[in-house]
Structure formats: C-alpha cells, structure tokens
C-alpha cells in the first residue's frame, strides 16, 4: 500500500503543535551552526537531552552523530 503523504501532513505534520516543535528543532540547529558547533552537511544531529524540542536552552542541546541520536530508546 502506498503512503499518502498529503494525508500524513494534513493529519500530523501540519498540525499547529507539530509545526511548533519542528520550528523549535530548526532553531536549535541554527543556533549550533551560528556558534560553530555544527555545519551544513556534517552528518550530525542536534540532540535535546531531555527529549523536549521546545527546550532550546544551551545546557539541553548537544551535537551527536546521527546513529547515536536516532538509536536512543525512549
């Protein structure tokens, strides 16, 4: 069965809550790039230690490899 991406966006990714969380993750990435801790295309992820993408305090975000960040169990 093929995925219906338009439906996924409408029912999940496009909801106000998810848009706010995505914007916060993007802000964290831009912050790390501005401070020289991340670079475009470096293959790294910005990790939120407490798992809350809305908490972008400097003590809560760090740079990790994609494998380490995406391999975490919640």
What is the mean predicted confidence (pLDDT) over 44-66?
Answer: 96
Cβ 28 vs Cβ 63: under 8 Å: no
What is the mean predicted confidence (pLDDT) over 60-68?
Answer: 96
Handedness of CA 29, 46, 50, 73 (dihedral sign): positive
Cβ 44 vs Cβ 38: under 8 Å: yes
pLDDT at position 72 is 84
Its domain, for residue 22, covers 5-70
Q: How many domains does the chain have?
A: 1
What is the mean predicted confidence (pLDDT) over 40-69?
Answer: 96
DSSP the chain: ----HHHHIIIIITSHHHHHHHHHHHHHHHHHHHTTS--TTSSEEEEETTS-TT---TTTEEEEEHHHHHT---
């Amino acid at each position: 069965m093929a995925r219906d991406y338009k439906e996924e966006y409408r029912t999940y990714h496009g909801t106000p809550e998810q848009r706010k969380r995505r914007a916060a993750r993007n802000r964290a990435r831009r912050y790390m790039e501005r401070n020289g801790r991340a670079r475009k295309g470096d293959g790294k992820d910005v990790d939120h230690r407490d798992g809350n993408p809305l908490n972008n305090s400097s003590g809560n975000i760090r740079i990790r490899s994609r494998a380490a960040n995406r391999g975490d169990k919640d």
